[in-house]
A and B are shown apart, each in its own frame.
Chain A
């Protein structure tokens, strides 16, 4: 682990994004548009106050999953990963470089969507805004870590994109947005309890409904951070210096 190399990696990834205006536009524009749509589809302020924050947790998760799984796959198939593996760059430098770059990006994304939601769309958030940003960035990093892990099992970009529904949709179904957690069958609750997105959504619910930082919110934050570290460790294990 080397701070200079990590920061150089972050800078390199941000430069790549700077050259790709359309991707940045989509990263920020699509969640904003979806939020606006949601507001007028629901057309009910109380219900929007309940669903809005949950989506603020899920958007960065999904977006970072896709961006990272395709991005890392490109490093693997484009030969740049092989080149980097012959240099002093450590696996942790690469992972943290990605985490920093995408964490920053997630911060901008959530800040824009949250601003639109809380001004124009009239979203009422009981809890503090900085906690919302923190949890959203953690969700983004979780998505990033899972995307990195998933990319190891994809040989083509077609496959990598398919992993998004495979990894994300079951979690989205079971996380408590579609059907509240306590109304699911017991065995589904067990599965739901094992999936990290459940805690991301619960944390956002806590923020939406409580002015204080609750114990549940704290626990959820720890679970999200722990899952991220676990997924990053698994992801690191898939980055090999020697390949067959």
Chain B
């Protein structure tokens, strides 16, 4: 189906000698903001690495924009920001972004645009090693926004940010989605879930739910998403017990 930007089917991945993803299947439609929620260690990062094509997978398929994940043709179309900020600590913010822009073949004005979008204007000429944790992760996020990616895969981009900045970044994510960019954003904080158009709730390498926040609340008969998550876990355990 052309409207789905990411299509995952029966994805199994082993890490450190054990299976960490147990046959995941889901689709991500174009222009959506999908939240990948779940506790630390549930397999979010492994799934994200599989989508950007840097993870060795055991079986199953991951198709991105109609091509197998990691295909050379996708390398300009997928923006990726890792959980630990992956930028050069001994360069300034601008030097880092100029390098990644050159690698991506992004236009010259792009460096200024992304610095603006993540609100790092005053830190532009600051060496990355001297940035705070939140500034560091925003600098890393900025590198993922360079060029014109059709899919953005962001692993915990808002960790450690103050609420105002977090709000601004989520507004940016939705602006991007309105322009037709598809976003997969992981988080282990439940209060971020309400900001996503769709949620994938993960636990122990399985997807517990794949629904909109409203749909999830309605299906579980709960008022907030934290409670919905707990409800789903209890439901699954009952199913296992019986």
Contact = CB atoms under 8 A, between A and B. Distances in A.
A78 B89 contact: yes
Given A83-B80, A83-B86, A243-B54, A89 B91 contact: no
Nearest to A89: B103
A43 interface: no
A30 interface: no
Interface stretch (A4-12, A137-145, A186-194, A200-208): A4-12
B86 A79 contact: yes
Contact of B56 (A19, A80, A88, A244): A244
A20 B90 contact: yes
A231 B110 CA distance: 37
Contacts of A243: 54-56
A8 B99 contact: yes
Interface in A35-59: none
Contact of B90 (A19, A82, A242): A19
B192 to A, nearest CB: 22
B53 A88 contact: no
A241 B53 contact: yes
Contacts, number: 78
B88 A16 contact: yes
Contacts of B100: 83, 87
Contacts of B105: 4, 88
Nearest to A8: B102
Interface string A7-35: 01101100110011000000000000000
Contacts of A88: 72, 75-76, 103-105
A16 B128 CA distance: 11
Interface of B: 14-15, 52-56, 70, 72, 75-76, 78, 80, 82, 84-91, 95, 99-100, 102-105, 127, 143
Interface of A: 4-5, 8-9, 11-12, 15-16, 19-20, 78-80, 82-89, 241-244
